[in-house]
Amino acid sequence: MTKRQNPNPEFDLFIPLMGDLPLKDQRETMERPFFSLQKRKRVKPIEYSSPDGETWVKIEAIPAYGMATIWDADILIWAASTLNRMREQGVNDLPRTLRTTSYDLLRAIKRDTSGRAYQELQAALQRLQTTSISTSIRAPKRRTKAGFNWLDKWTLEVDPDTDQPRGMTITLSDWVYEGIMGERSLLTMHQDYFLLTGGLERALYRIARKHAGNQKGGWTCRVEVLRDKTGSDSKPKEFNRMLRKVVEADQLPDYAMHMAATADGSPAVLFRLRGEAEALALTAKLAPVHCRDTDSR
C-alpha cells in the first residue's frame, strides 16, 4: 500500500476525463466480495454468505485467466458512470454495448498509456468475461439464484499498419446492465478512488461508502465481518496486520478510520466522514482542560 498518486498529472483538453463525470458504482457489489484483492492470479473461489443466510455470493475463476480483480472493476465503474451520464442527458435506449478507445478508457480510469498498460487492459477484459458469478441477489425466491459473467463480450481494434490499439467495445452482461439501470441502484464515489493502490484499501472504501455513507456518528464494523465482506483469503492474523496498516496510513477518500471495539469487546473499525472526524479530534484536544476544571470542584 502506498500513498495515492496521480499517474497522469498532465491535463489533456481533448480527452474527456472522469473528473468531469461523477463516478458511480453499483450498491449491490460495493458491500460484498465480488473481486479478488490481489494482482497475482487467484483461482481459489470466493464464497460469502450474510449472517442471516439470505444473501450469498460465489465467485469462480478459470485457471487460464484467474479471477477478475478489484482493479478490473474500474472498467465496470467507468461503464456505470458513462451510462448514468447518458441517462441524465436524456438519451433513450441506453446500450449494453459501449464504444470508446483504449487510450480514452485508460486515461479515464487514471492509468498510464504505455504498451504494458494496453496488455493489462486486455487481460482485465478477459478476466471480466471469464469470471463466473452466482448469487441470490435480486432473486425473487430464496432458492433462486442468478449466474453470469461481468462482460458478455469485448473487442479491441488494432491498426493494421502500426499495430497500435484503436477503438474498443465492451458488452455488459444482463445482470450488470440491469443493476446499473435500476432506480437508486448507484452510489457516487470519490474521484480519488482510482488512485488507491491497495486492493484492501479499495474494498474498505467501497464498504464504507455503502454502509457509513453520510450518517452522523459514522459506522462501526467488526473486524471479522470486514474480512468476510472484503473476500480476503488472508488468515485472520495477517488480515488484522494489513487492516491496521490501512488505518495508520489514513489514505481513504471521504472517510477516516479508527480501531475500535464493539459493546462485547470484539475488535472493530469505526468509519467516520473526514469533516466530522476532524471536528471531533479538535474537540478531544480541548476536552481535557474542561475535565480538569470539573474534577477540581
Do 231 and 73 contact (CB within 8 A), yes or no? Answer: no
Is the pLDDT higher at 192 or at 8?
A: 192
Element (H, E) at 291: helix 274-295
Tell me the whole-structure pTM to 2 decimals.
0.86
CATH of 196-282, one of 1.10.10.10, 3.40.50.300, 3.40.50.1220, 3.40.50.280: 1.10.10.10
Element (H, E) at 80: helix 73-88
**Residue 46: other Cβ atoms inside 10 A:** 23
Beta-carbon contacts of residue 2 (< 8 Å; ≥ 6 apart) = 197, 198
Helices 174-181 and 73-88: angle between axes, nearest 10 degrees:
50
CA–CA separation, 168 and 157 (whole Å): 6
Do 230 and 289 contact (CB within 8 A), yes or no? Answer: no
Per-residue model confidence (pLDDT) at position 276: 75
Per-residue model confidence (pLDDT) at position 253: 94
Element (H, E) at 289: helix 274-295
Per-residue model confidence (pLDDT) at position 284: 66
In CATH, what number does 17-191 get? Answer: 1.10.10.10
Grid cell locating 228? 468476510
Could you tell me the pLDDT band of residue 3, with boundaries at 50, 70 and 90?
A: very low
Per-residue model confidence (pLDDT) at position 161: 80
CA atoms within a 13 Å half-sphere pointing along the CA-CB vector of 87: 18
The residue type at 5:
Q
CA–CA separation, 102 and 280 (whole Å): 45
Per-residue model confidence (pLDDT) at position 295: 38
Query: Residue 104 carries which DSSP code?
Result: H
Per-residue model confidence (pLDDT) at position 297: 33
CA–CA separation, 50 and 33 (whole Å): 11
CA–CA separation, 259 and 54 (whole Å): 29
CA–CA separation, 239 and 225 (whole Å): 12
The residue type at 209:
R
User: Is residue 220 helix, strand or coil?
Assistant: strand
Q: Where are the beta strands (DSSP E) in the chain?
A: 23-26, 46-49, 56-60, 97-101, 132-135, 146-148, 151-158, 165-172, 186-189, 219-222, 255-261, 267-273
Domains 17-191 and 196-282 equal at CATH topology level: yes
Per-residue model confidence (pLDDT) at position 59: 98
Per-residue model confidence (pLDDT) at position 16: 44
pLDDT digits (tens, 9 = 90+) for 236-263: 999 999 999 999 999 999 999 999 999 9
pLDDT digits (tens, 9 = 90+) for 271-292: 999 987 566 666 666 655 443 3
Q: Where are the domains of the chain?
A: 17-191, 196-282
Per-residue model confidence (pLDDT) at position 10: 40
Helix, strand, coil abundance in the chain, percent, nearest 5:
40, 20, 40
Please give the share of the chain, as a percent, with pLDDT higher than 70. 85
Phi, psi of 270 (to 5 degrees): -100, 125
| Least confident residue range of 44-58, 152-166, 268-282, 283-297 | 283-297
Is the pLDDT higher at 107 or at 290?
A: 107
**Residue 90: other Cβ atoms inside 10 A:** 6
Do 36 and 67 contact (CB within 8 A), yes or no? Answer: yes
Closest to 208 in 3D by CA, of 258, 263, 281 = 258
